[in-house]
């Protein structure tokens, strides 16, 4: 029986300690620990990697601090719009969803698509119809909205640009040696109505394969899509036999001359080695291997 492992991220940003402040830092650390342990407890009880990554991501979707579910970014039309994906490394089955507005936990909708739909990817109204058919929880628009995100939108509109925000994700290895990955996001602040990023695209923002690795990305979605970062990690591990950490670094920096924007990710190999790479000032992250003490980190130290 293998040692089980879970790693999570709550996004990556260019912010200093002063920008965030001690109270918010403490809140982020508590929230990361809560999400990590929600997934870890499932693995500890012999549960699946898929259930563990869903549980960890759900905690972050329910927390206004993160840009997924409650507290998600506003589009240019003052709406919330969510994307999510999940993949099982054992079966290579995946479920992904884009452009939903009212589903409380988009990651659970992605998992339900994986388990109960003949399709991999559902969007907008059709995805919400599927969620209703499967009795998933819906929330009114007000549930997702926060003053912090509204302020971000107003500021971004003044500057006439879009602003990156924190995608969340998790990767896990269960006691049976199965890998899984999950990613969820509220997208960019002031993004064009209907824009979809890398998060729900299998091989870009999310990928899992028991033989090779599991990956979840955060950062500039357009760049992550164009560089196919998730699959790039997979290819470097599978074909060049690179260690997972080195594969993460190489995948994030490939085509730097052509593709701008930060690429940040967490990954896990079948031996339980964790890879973490980020190009921003910070990455909200945490991991735990078996019964070892867990690590929660934000900055480089």
In contact, 138 and 104? CB cutoff 8 Å: yes
Catalytic residue from among 75, 108, 156, 167: 167
> pTM of the predicted model, to two decimals?
0.96
> Which residues span the domain enclosing 66?
5-297
Give the pLDDT confidence score for residue 170 in this predicted structure. 98
Q: How far apart are CA 54 and CA 36, in angstroms?
A: 11
pLDDT value at residue 1:
61
CATH number of the domain where residue 35 is located: 3.60.20.30
301 annotated as belonging to a binding site for a ligand: no
**Is residue 196 annotated as involved in ligand binding?**
yes
pLDDT, tens only, 140-152: 999 999 888 888 8
> Would the annotation count 221 as a binding residue?
yes
pLDDT recorded at residue 156: 84
Tell me which residue of 236, 156, 213, 191 sits closest to 81, measured CA to CA.
191
| 285 labelled ligand-binding | no
Annotated binding-site residue? 218: yes
Catalytic residue flag (residue 167): yes
Tell me: is residue 219 an annotated ligand-binding position.
yes
Of the candidates 91, 267, 278, 110, the one whose C-alpha atom is nearest the C-alpha of residue 200 is 110
Report the interhelical angle of 106-116 vs 124-133 (nearest 10°): 80
Q: Looking at the 3D structure of the chain, how many domains does it have?
A: 1
**Residue 290 annotated as binding site:** no
Contact between 5 and 268 (Cβ < 8 Å): yes
Residue 198 annotated as lining a ligand binding site: yes
Could you read off the pLDDT of 240-273 as tens digits, one per residue?
Answer: 999 999 999 999 999 999 998 999 999 999 999 9
Low-confidence ranges of the chain (pLDDT < 50): none
């Amino acid at each position: 029986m293998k040692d089980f492992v879970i790693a999570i991220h709550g996004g990556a940003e260019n912010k200093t300690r002063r920008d965030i402040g001690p109270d918010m830092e403490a809140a982020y650390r508590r929230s990361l620990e809560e999400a990590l342990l929600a997934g870890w407890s499932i693995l500890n009880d012999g549960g699946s990697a898929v259930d563990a990554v869903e549980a960890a991501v759900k905690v972050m979707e329910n927390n206004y601090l993160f840009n997924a579910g409650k507290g998600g970014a506003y589009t240019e039309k003052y709406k919330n719009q969510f994307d999510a994906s999940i993949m099982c490394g054992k079966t290579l089955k995946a479920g992904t969803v884009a452009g939903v507005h009212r589903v409380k936990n988009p990651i659970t909708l992605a998992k339900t698509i994986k388990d109960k739909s003949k399709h991999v990817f559902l969007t907008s109204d059709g995805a919400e119809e599927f969620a209703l058919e499967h009795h998933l929880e819906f929330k009114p628009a007000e549930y997702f909205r926060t003053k912090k995100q509204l302020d971000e939108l107003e500021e971004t509109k003044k500057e006439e640009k879009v602003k990156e925000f924190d995608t969340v994700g998790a990767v896990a290895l269960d006691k049976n040696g199965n890998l899984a990955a999950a990613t969820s996001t509220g997208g960019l602040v002031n993004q064009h109505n209907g824009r979809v990023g890398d998060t729900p695209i299998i091989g870009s923002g999310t990928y899992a394969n028991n033989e090779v690795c599991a990956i979840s990305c955060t950062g500039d979605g357009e760049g992550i899509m164009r560089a196919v970062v998730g699959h790039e990690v997979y290819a470097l591990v599978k074909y060049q036999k690179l260690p997972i950490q080195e594969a993460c670094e190489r995948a994030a920096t490939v085509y730097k001359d052509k593709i701008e924007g930060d690429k940040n990710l967490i990954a896990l190999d079948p031996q339980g080695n964790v890879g973490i790479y980020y190009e921003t000032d910070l990455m909200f992250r945490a991991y735990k291997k078996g019964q070892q003490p867990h690590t929660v980190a934000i900055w480089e130290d």
